[in-house]
Amino acid sequence: MQSLKFNQKMIDQASQWASDLGEIKNSITKGRGNHAGRLGELALAKHLGVELLDHKDYDLIYEGQKIEVKTKRRAVQPQPNYTVNIAATSRHQKPDIYAFLSMEYSDRDSGGNYSDLLHIWLCGYKNAEQFFEESSFWPKGHPDPPAFTTHRDMYVMKIKDLDERLQ
């Protein structure tokens, strides 16, 4: 796992974009994750030295590969046995590669609100076709230990099964 750099300008850009966007259709978090998702996209684009594209099927292109960024918020640093996921409602997207990021915050309240961003972690990559071949399908309501259940049907994989580098 690698920590990605971010700055206040990127945070402000993500905030403005999230506010303008509002709730995304089929969003698991009803739009509450827009800021984290956008900040993750900005951080990865900066890390790879490419422009953010905002295409409906992918977020950026690196060396000819279309990459869709999936970001998860956490109150702890992600571990190899933690999961990443893609909602079944996102199967319409057609990237070549998925990039999985985790935002580590110092606090999460009982309402699911996160505060004080500490790190943006690049957990890894997975070829899109391989992801769906190798992932597990979890239906809505499936337990996601220690204290969560899935809010949507989703495809799930452990961080340790991701690729560290773009293939």
Q: Is residue 118 part of a domain?
A: yes
Would residue 167 count as lying in a domain?
Answer: no
Asked if 59 and 90 count as a contact pair (C-beta separation under 8 A), the reply is no
Give ∠ CA 2-80-33 in degrees, rounded to 5.
70
Question: Is 127 part of a structural domain of the chain?
Answer: yes
Is pLDDT of 110 > 70?
A: no
Task: Give the residue, 33 or 28, on which the prediction is more confident.
Answer: 33
Residue 52 belongs to a domain = yes
Asked if residues 95 and 128 have their Cβ atoms less than 8 Å apart, the reply is yes
Domain range for 137: 2-161
Mean pLDDT of 6-32: 70
- Mean per-residue pLDDT of the chain: 88
How many domains does the chain contain in total?
1
Question: Would you say residue 38 lies in a domain?
Answer: yes
24 has pLDDT over 60: no
| Confidence at residue 29, expressed as pLDDT on a 0 to 100 scale | 45
CA dist list (Å): 121 to 3, 31, 37, 73, 148: 5, 21, 12, 10, 21
Residue 166 covered by a domain: no
**126 burial via Cβ count (<10 Å: 0-12, 13-18, 19+):** buried
Helix or strand or coil: residue 120? strand
Question: By C-alpha distance, which of 17, 53, 14 is closest to 36?
Answer: 14
Q: Looking at the domain assignment, is residue 144 inside a domain?
A: yes
Residues whose CB is less than 8 angstroms from the CB of residue 137 and which lie 6 or more positions away in sequence, other chains included: 88, 153, 154, 155, 156
CB 105 within 8 A of CB 145: no
